[in-house]
């Protein structure tokens, strides 16, 4: 089998790795795989769209692939530069370079008569270069470089001296000195660029939004108990990243009763937890120390949202003008009991939050929509906003110009099997085209690549995948939302592993821990504990299944044991563990017991009711073709 991989970002590299090593997991000849990348290096968006001081918002524990980990001395959150270095090391470790074609642009993908595909490619920077072809049986689309910047129309935008999309922005010096900078879009990229601007020698920084954002911490909050007594936070204390801090997988995804799974129950539990936590530590439910830019009530539910993990560093500059200066009695009591220390912005430095702009007038003044919120009133009081530099941080549109239109290739929106392929054409896989509400794309791409490869090699093992299982891991996007491919990281990861037969049960974890304990004694208990109380890390799904790997137990019980041992306190244990696992556990166990009782009653009453059931079926057959009233009793 020959397979083409388009794109050398994390998704493309991990897909290529599994294709090249497929003969280790499945019988038959090795797969011949070829990767095509238009840029001169690997890394995708992390190398081509990164800007100054860019840092991953997901932790190294979650982002690193299952069988190739980040360095022990790496910080919890890697810089974009370090992550690109990690991806290069990944290529070295698994000898991928011989199958990677850099500076090579795919100009067309066409269907081959009789089945398969033909890849037409040439040197990326030479439009006159000879177009070559590569014939293959399957294509993995993993590219982000064929997505088009999404630039909403703003009438009069040509009056602004400098206008660019975030994909073009690289360094602080592009802001200039003593300039007014306006950033359109309050996602993670917009927040990052606004923070870079306010910490540069700019005159004024404005960040615009359509309907607010949910600022979420990258690490577990470390509140101070009874600050009224003069207690202070320990500046040397290392908190655990939030993306590996969930402690309820036992009843969150593994043993969650179907009647709960298919409702909003778990979403409601976490929604309550997020809003309660935010208020307890900072006095506002909008986000920790977020006093402006709240998401509208109709959208503010965790089942609908993407958490903005870049917001906390910019919130001191955004919230400064809006923090209450004369709090009420309840807020004073709360602050005296529990409070997360809030960072103060330097005097005179703020990021002014503004509604979405309507137009730029002939004088170059930006006008904003009246959204009826405090930020509109403040912007009006501050006087005209005349941007010198305007940056669109408005995301991208997915477009794939290389697909031959006459061949009717599927798009990511057409995928109907776990957001990876379309049943009508499983030879085309889309790897990495999901967005977790709180999580990371690379580990999900690894699981997607595993599932797609399993389908290519043994399609009978994926025939039974049900569409009904998709509902519980998908975010409930609002009608008309630009991004409709959101997922919950934990439940989506577990679903993919379960589909492959790679989701370990309790005894699998016990056996893996006991077997590995001859190398490291503590593993006999660490593996079952991290199985039950650890995040859905990819190494967990290599303890068994088609991609079982002997090093998985050592990764889990070694490096990833930190995701257990570094948890503590009310937020590390109580709100993120005791509350959800208790609530969901009680309800799930109750429903399982009810089901068991009903099953026992059915077994006991079967000999008594069987004759009546046979009689009923016979009566219905005799009445066939005639109208009758059926009464069940």
Query: In this structure, are 356 and 453 located in the same domain?
Result: no
The least confident of 223-227, 245-249, 435-439, 490-494 is 245-249
Query: In this structure, are 408 and 485 located in the same domain?
Result: yes
Query: In this structure, are 416 and 488 located in the same domain?
Result: yes
**Residue at which a domain ends, from 450, 477, 500:** 500
Query: In this structure, are 141 and 155 located in the same domain?
Result: no
d(CA 235, CA 218): 17
Query: In this structure, are 380 and 403 located in the same domain?
Result: no
**Residue at which a domain ends, from 500, 523, 544:** 500
The answer to whether position 439 is within a domain reads yes
The least confident of 170-174, 435-439, 627-631 is 627-631
pLDDT in tens, 34-66: 999 999 999 998 988 889 999 999 999 999 999
| Total number of domains constituting the chain | 2
d(CA 69, CA 552): 11
Whether the pLDDT of residue 10 is over 70: the answer is: yes
Query: In this structure, are 495 and 411 located in the same domain?
Result: yes
The answer to whether position 562 is within a domain reads no
The answer to whether position 578 is within a domain reads no
Alpha helices in 94-220 (DSSP H): 188-198
pLDDT of residue 615: 42
Query: In this structure, are 43 and 109 located in the same domain?
Result: yes
Name the average pLDDT for the chain. Answer: 88
User: pTM here?
Assistant: 0.90
Whether the pLDDT of residue 250 is over 80: the answer is: no
The answer to whether position 535 is within a domain reads no
Query: What percentage of the chain exceeds 70 in pLDDT?
Result: 92
Query: In this structure, are 108 and 183 located in the same domain?
Result: no
Query: In this structure, are 81 and 102 located in the same domain?
Result: yes
What residue numbers bound the domain in which 471 lies?
2-147+398-500
Q: What is the mean pLDDT of residues 232-236?
A: 76
pLDDT in tens, 573-591: 666 666 777 777 787 788 7
Query: In this structure, are 190 and 68 located in the same domain?
Result: no
* β-strand partners of 205: 181, 351
The answer to whether position 434 is within a domain reads yes
Query: In this structure, are 182 and 77 located in the same domain?
Result: no
Which run of H or E residues covers position 389?
A: strand 389-392
d(CA 161, CA 423): 49
Whether the pLDDT of residue 79 is over 70: the answer is: yes
pLDDT of residue 631: 42
pLDDT of residue 614: 46
Q: What is the mean pLDDT of residues 427-447?
A: 95
The answer to whether position 566 is within a domain reads no
Planar angle of CA 241, 247, 250, nearest 5 degrees: 145
Other Cβ atoms less than 10 A from the Cβ of 28: the count is 9
pLDDT in tens, 398-420: 788 898 878 889 998 899 999 99
Query: In this structure, are 442 and 318 located in the same domain?
Result: no
pLDDT in tens, 303-312: 998 999 989 8
CATH number at residue 324: 3.50.50.60
The answer to whether position 180 is within a domain reads yes
Cα dist from 220 to 16, 271, 303, 411, whole Å: 35, 16, 21, 38
The answer to whether position 587 is within a domain reads no
Under the banding of pLDDT at 50, 70 and 90, the label for residue 178 is very high
Planar angle of CA 436, 439, 444, nearest 5 degrees: 70
**Residue at which a domain ends, from 480, 500, 520:** 500
Cβ proximity of 117 and 138 under 8 Å: yes
d(CA 367, CA 219): 37
């Amino acid at each position: 089998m020959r397979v083409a991989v388009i794109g050398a970002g994390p998704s493309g590299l991990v897909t290529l790795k599994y294709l090249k090593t497929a003969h280790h997991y499945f019988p038959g000849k090795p797969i011949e795989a070829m990767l095509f990348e238009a840029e001169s290096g690997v890394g995708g968006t992390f190398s081509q769209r990164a800007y100054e001081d860019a840092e991953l918002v997901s932790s190294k524990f979650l982002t690193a692939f299952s069988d190739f980990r980040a360095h022990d001395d790496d910080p919890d959150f890697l810089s974009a530069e370090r992550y690109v270095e990690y991806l290069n090391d990944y290529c070295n470790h698994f000898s991928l370079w011989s199958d990677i074609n850099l500076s090579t642009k795919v100009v067309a993908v066409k269907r081959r008569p009789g089945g398969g595909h033909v890849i037409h490619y040439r040197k990326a920077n030479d439009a006159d270069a000879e177009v070559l072809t590569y014939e293959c049986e399957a294509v993995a689309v993993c590219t982000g470089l064929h997505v088009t910047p999404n630039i909403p129309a703003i009438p009069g935008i040509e009056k602004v001296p400098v206008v660019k999309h975030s994909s073009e922005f690289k360094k602080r010096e592009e802001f200039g000195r003593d300039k007014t900078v306006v950033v359109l879009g309050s996602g993670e990229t917009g927040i990052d660029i606004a923070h870079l601007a306010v910490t540069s020698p700019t005159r004024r920084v404005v960040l615009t939004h359509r309907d607010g954002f949910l600022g979420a911490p990258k690490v577990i909050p470390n509140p101070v108990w009874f600050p009224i007594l003069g207690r202070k936070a320990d500046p040397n204390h290392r908190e655990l990243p939030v993306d590996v801090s969930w402690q309820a997988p036992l009843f969150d995804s593994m043993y969650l009763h179907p009647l709960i799974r298919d409702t909003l129950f778990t979403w409601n539990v976490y929604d309550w937890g997020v809003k309660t936590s935010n208020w307890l530590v900072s006095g506002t439910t909008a986000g920790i120390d977020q006093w402006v830019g709240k998401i509208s009530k109709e959208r503010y539910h965790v089942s609908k949202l993407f958490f903005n993990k870049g917001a906390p560093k910019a919130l001191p500059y955004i919230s400064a003008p809006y923090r209450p200066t004369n709090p009420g009695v309840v807020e004073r009591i709360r602050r005296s009991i529990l409070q997360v220390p809030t960072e103060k912005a330097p005097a005179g430095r703020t990021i002014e939050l503004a509604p979405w702009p309507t137009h730029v007038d002939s004088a170059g003044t930006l006008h904003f929509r009246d959204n009826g919120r405090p930020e509109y009133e403040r912007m009006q009081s501050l006087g005209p906003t005349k941007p010198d530099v305007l940056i669109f941080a408005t995301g991208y549109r997915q477009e794939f110009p290389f697909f031959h239109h006459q061949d009717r290739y599927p798009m990511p929106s057409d995928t109907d099997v776990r957001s990876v392929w379309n049943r009508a054409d499983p030879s085309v896989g889309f790897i990495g085209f999901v967005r977790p509400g709180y999580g990371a794309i690379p580990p999900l791409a690894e699981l997607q690549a595993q599932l797609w490869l399993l389908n290519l090699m043994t399609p009978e093992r994926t025939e039974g995948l049900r569409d009904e299982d998709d509902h519980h891991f998908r975010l409930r996007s609002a009608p008309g939302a630009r991004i409709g491919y959101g997922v919950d990281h934990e439940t989506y990861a577990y679903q993919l592993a379960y589909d492959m037969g790679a989701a370990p049960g309790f005894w699998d974890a016990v056996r893996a821990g006991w077997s590995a304990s001859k190398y490291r004694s503590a593993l006999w208990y660490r593996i079952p504990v991290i199985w039950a109380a650890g995040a859905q890390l990819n190494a967990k799904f290599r303890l068994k299944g088609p991609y079982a790997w002997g090093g998985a137990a050592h990764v889990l019980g070694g490096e990833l044991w930190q995701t257990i041992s570094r948890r503590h306190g009310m937020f590390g244990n109580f709100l993120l563990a005791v509350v959800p696992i208790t609530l969901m556990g009680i309800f799930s166990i109750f429903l399982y017991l009810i089901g068991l009782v009903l099953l026992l009653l059915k077994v006991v009453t079967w000999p008594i009711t069987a004759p009546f059931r046979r009689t009923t079926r016979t009566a219905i057959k005799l009445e066939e073709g005639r109208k009758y009233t059926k009464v069940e009793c």
